[in-house]
């Protein structure tokens, strides 16, 4: 019991020391600074490290609830001023942030699939400066994969060998 009493006194003392006892002049200075906060935040001289420090000073706690709503995470920010900010963030879906072939290149593949072989399409994409999701030149295999994945029917007049073999 003596130990509990000692810990309670220590906590009360720590809470008292942590309390902000501001003078009217300090409160006025903080009020003026808060009016300039957006300017300070956006200043080119303000580093990301300083922005993080400002947030740590301004935020008391953050609570996340990812269970209540499917596909969303509810966020509650408790600011040191006592104000609560609530909002929801869309939960990322699997593969959403993965590398993807540029949409324009996929559209070109879809356009050309009926008239050209996979190798011809790859050559045209490469000549136009398009690259795969990994930044590499297109090959007939990559074009074929996209056509099969998207259900695009290739030019049936060419033989399978012509569509699948690289140009020599």
pLDDT of residue 162: 47
- pLDDT, mean of residues 19-32: 79
pLDDT at 156: 54
What is the pLDDT at residue 118?
92
Residues 142-164: tens digit of each pLDDT: 999 999 999 887 765 444 544 44
Tell me the two tokens of residue 100: 């993807």
- In angstroms, the CA 22 to CA 33 distance is 15
The Cα–Cα gap between 164 and 138 comes to 13
Please tell me the distance from the alpha carbon of residue 68 to that of residue 88, in angstroms, as a whole number: 11
Q: Rounded distance, CA 113 to CA 110, Å?
A: 5
**How far is residue 37's CA from residue 29's CA, in Å, rounded to a whole number?**
12
Write out pLDDT tens, residues 60-101.
999 999 898 888 999 999 998 888 999 999 988 877 777 889
User: What is the domain partition of the chain in residue ranges?
Assistant: 2-90, 103-164
pLDDT for residue 159: 46
Whether 137 shows a pLDDT value over 70: the answer reads yes
Per-residue pLDDT band for 110 (boundaries 50, 70, 90) equals very high
Residue corresponding to tokens 């200075």? 29
pLDDT of residue 19: 67
Buried b or exposed e, range 91-119, using 16+ CB within 10 angstroms: eeeeeeeeeebeeebbebbeebbeebbbb
Least Cα distance to 140 among 123, 160, 159, 161 occurs for 123
Quick check: 123 pLDDT over 60? yes
Burial of 54 (0-12, 13-18, 19+ CB in 10 A): middle
* CA–CA dist 135, 125 (Å, integer): 13
Using one digit for the tens of pLDDT, what is the confidence trace for 32-69?
Answer: 877 888 888 888 999 999 999 988 888 999 999 989 88
Summarize the confidence of residues 112-139 as an average pLDDT: 93
């Amino acid at each position: 019991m003596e130990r509990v009493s000692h810990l309670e006194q220590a906590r009360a003392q720590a809470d008292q020391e942590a309390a902000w006892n501001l003078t009217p002049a300090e409160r006025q200075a903080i009020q003026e600074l808060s009016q300039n906060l957006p300017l300070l935040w956006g200043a080119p001289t303000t580093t990301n490290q300083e922005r993080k420090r400002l947030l740590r000073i301004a935020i008391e706690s953050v609570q996340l609830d990812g269970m209540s709503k499917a596909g969303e995470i509810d966020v509650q920010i408790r600011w040191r001023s006592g104000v609560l900010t609530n909002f929801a963030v869309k939960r990322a879906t699997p593969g959403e942030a993965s590398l993807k072939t540029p949409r324009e290149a996929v559209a070109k593949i879809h356009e050309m699939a009926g008239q050209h072989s996979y190798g011809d399409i790859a050559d045209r994409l490469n000549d136009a400066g398009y690259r795969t999701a990994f930044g590499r030149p297109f090959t007939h295999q990559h074009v074929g994969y996209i056509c099969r994945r998207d259900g695009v029917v290739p030019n049936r007049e060419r033989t399978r060998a012509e569509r699948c073999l690289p140009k020599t």
